[in-house]
Amino acid sequence: MKLSAKLTIAGLILAVLAALGAGLAFPGDYPTEQQAQRTFTLPVDFTVVRKCLVRKDGAKQIITMGGDSEFVSQQWSEIGAEVNPKEILNADWRLQLHGTLTVKTLDDYIGEQVVDLAQDVDITIDKLDSQVKLEKGAERLADYAMQTVFTRSGDEDTTVELSLRQKIITEAPWWAHGIADRRVKASVEKTLANQEAAIRKFIEDNKDDVPLLPLR
């Protein structure tokens, strides 16, 4: 091989090493947004599931069931914790709640940060829909949205649909963006898997401890 060719190859290698070294020495902020969905069935009648969630304060626990956060406080700005007894037999009754849920994050990328989540809960005779969204971005958590939907499925089952989307600011150099994407994606999927396991346990632990009345 000619000397000029060897020098060219050596120069290219040095350039690559220099680029990698610069990436390690000066990692830039890289925002990665990842999302996942998960669906499963509970072999428990929806009415029982709904009563467990409402009467055992499951609305706030749903958010922290994934294991990536812990509960700090909760405030409801619109409260209607009980349906008017006169409407018990009304098949179209609806209970809507809006509040702020404060949690502390426990994520490897985000670290421990206290954040506020806007929470909306919509409950009808056949469905409970809980949605939360980050009110204000934090240092590493730029966006966060979770939805948990419980739906009556036949006479004895309840379908549960989970979805989570989060945008995290990582300290990843340009050549590690794909790695950051995969790790955050895996973290989102793990959160939903943990949430499913926690929901199953929560319902199993409380299904025999709900009052018979009201029937709905």
Q: Output the average pLDDT for the chain.
A: 80
pTM: 0.80
Dihedral sign of CA atoms 47, 48, 54, 58 in order: negative
Dihedral sign of CA atoms 34, 39, 40, 45 in order: positive
Q: Answer whether residue 95 shows pLDDT above 50.
A: yes
Reduce the DSSP state of residue 174 to 3 states and report it.
helix
Q: In what order do the strands lie in the sheet with 94-105?
A: 29-42, 157-171, 141-153, 127-134, 114-124, 94-105, 69-78
The pLDDT tens digits for 38-62 are: 999 999 999 999 988 888 777 667 7
Domain limits, the chain: 29-206
Greater pLDDT, 108 or 144: 144
For residue 73, name the pLDDT band (cuts at 50, 70, 90).
confident
For residue 12, name the pLDDT band (cuts at 50, 70, 90).
low
Q: Answer whether residue 74 shows pLDDT above 50.
A: yes
Tell me which CATH code domain 29-206 carries. Answer: 3.30.530.20
Q: Residue 26, exposed/middle/buried by CB under 10 A (0-12, 13-18, 19+)? A: exposed
The pLDDT tens digits for 135-155 are: 887 788 899 999 999 999 987
Greater pLDDT, 140 or 21: 140
The rounded distance, in Å, linking the Cα atoms of 74 and 111 is 21
Reduce the DSSP state of residue 18 to 3 states and report it.
helix
Dihedral sign of CA atoms 190, 46, 148, 117 in order: negative
